[in-house]
């Protein structure tokens, strides 16, 4: 069930602290919101200090200024609390962000009139078991990746479903992705694009060697266990965060998360495919600006 549109009263502004355009757009949005009698609070996000989190007490919406990386970090903070996110483009890549600089004032007018819809995106839970004991757990928005570390050798990963053995991959790594993550690392590795609100998991090998090379889309409710064979450096990375070294006997269990990432959307129902086509026709990462 999707959350219903509402008029926010207390908004956290979360610009990427390293991007001057993000800071200036946050100031502009603060002015627009304050004119509508909306209370605002600031939290410039620093990727070098990712463990520092904002005080979200009383906050009913978070507006993120940057690219998809900044929005992902905000998602990890907001999703467990059920706080929705509005993304404003100030970086290079923007599959997740919603508003551009030219749309800012019109977007806020629509926001205050509840003229938007809430998009609920499936997340995953990834658990690392060492010696059959739960070692660590993560919320996953994009993907969990088991891959080779500093040694340039393929790795072997066995993948089991609840129904039993599925496949073993000899590759540079294995991606387990959400539909949101299908436009991230999985897309770069040749995987299919899934509609953002699809509640399925995608399994995809990275540069497979003499093994099954097709992506597999799992039905909603599937659970996955991954068993890496450790002959050299192998790591686990969640949503591009710092890699965690793995050792023999480790098991990574992945399932649907009870929480979802709620995102504000103003676009028409086919916005995703329209934006995807535009992204593919002009690669924004090649268009460097003075703000990047």
CB 117 within 8 A of CB 4: no
Of 279, 140, 129, residue with least CA distance to 202: 140
* 5 part of a folded domain: no
Task: Return the sign of the alpha-carbon dihedral for residues 22, 69, 186, 198.
Answer: negative
Q: Which position among 35, 49, 68, 115 bears the catalytic label? A: 68
Number of C-beta neighbours around residue 213 at 10 A: 13
172 is a catalytic site residue: no
If asked whether residues 168 and 253 sit together in one domain, one would say: yes
Structure tokens at 110: 């629509």
- Residue 3: inside a domain: no
Domain span including residue 30: 10-116+266-286
Q: For residues 290 and 261, give the distance between their C-alpha atoms in angstroms, rounded to a whole number.
A: 31
Residue 2 covered by a domain: no
Indicate whether 219 belongs to any domain. Answer: yes
Same domain, 252 and 127: yes
How do strand 173-177 and strand 85-89 relate by DSSP bridges? unpaired
Q: Domain containing 271 — which CATH number?
A: 3.40.50.10330
| Cα separation values, 197 from 58, 122, 171, 223, Å | 28, 7, 29, 18
Q: Are residue 199 and residue 248 in the same domain, yes or no?
A: yes
Same domain, 73 and 170: no
Q: Which residues of 125-153 are buried (b: 16+ CB within 10 A; e: fewer)?
A: bbbbbeeeeeeeebbbbbbbbbbbbeeee
**Count of domains for the chain:** 2
Per-residue pLDDT tens listing for the chain (292 residues) = 567 899 999 999 999 999 999 999 999 999 999 999 999 999 999 988 877 899 999 999 999 999 989 999 999 999 999 999 999 999 776 778 899 899 999 999 999 999 999 999 999 999 999 999 999 999 999 999 999 988 888 999 999 998 899 999 999 999 999 999 999 999 999 999 998 889 999 999 999 987 788 999 998 889 999 999 988 899 999 999 999 999 999 999 999 999 999 999 997 766 665 566 566 655 555 554 433 4
């Amino acid at each position: 069930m999707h959350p219903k549109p509402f008029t926010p009263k207390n908004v956290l502004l979360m610009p990427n602290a390293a991007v001057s355009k993000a800071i200036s757009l946050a100031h502009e949005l603060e002015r627009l919101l304050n004119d509508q009698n909306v209370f605002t609070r600031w939290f410039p996000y620093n990727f070098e200090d990712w463990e520092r989190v904002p005080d979200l007490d009383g906050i009913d919406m978070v507006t993120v200024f940057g690219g998809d990386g900044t929005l992902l970090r905000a998602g990890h903070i907001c999703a467990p609390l059920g706080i929705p996110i509005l993304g404003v483009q100030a970086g290079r890549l923007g599959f997740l962000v919603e508003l551009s600089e030219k749309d800012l004032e019109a977007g806020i007018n629509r926001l205050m009139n509840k003229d938007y819809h809430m998009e609920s995106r499936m997340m995953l839970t990834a658990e690392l078991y060492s010696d059959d004991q739960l070692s660590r757990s993560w919320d996953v928005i994009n993907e969990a990746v088991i891959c080779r570390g500093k040694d340039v050798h393929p790795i072997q990963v066995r993948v089991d479903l609840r129904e039993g053995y599925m496949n073993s991959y000899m590759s540079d790594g294995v991606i387990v992705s959400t539909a949101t993550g299908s436009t991230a690392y999985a897309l770069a590795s040749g995987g299919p694009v899934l509609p953002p609100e699809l509640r399925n998991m995608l399994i995809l090998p990275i540069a497979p060697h003499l093994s099954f090379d097709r992506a597999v889309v799992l039905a909603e409710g599937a659970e996955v266990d991954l068993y890496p064979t450790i002959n050299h450096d192998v790591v686990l990375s969640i949503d591009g965060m710092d890699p965690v070294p793995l050792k023999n006997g480790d098991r990574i269990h992945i399932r649907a998360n009870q929480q979802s990432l709620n995102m504000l959307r103003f676009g028409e129902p086919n916005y995703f495919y329209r934006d995807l086509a535009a992204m593919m026709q002009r690669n924004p990462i090649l268009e460097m600006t003075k703000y990047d």
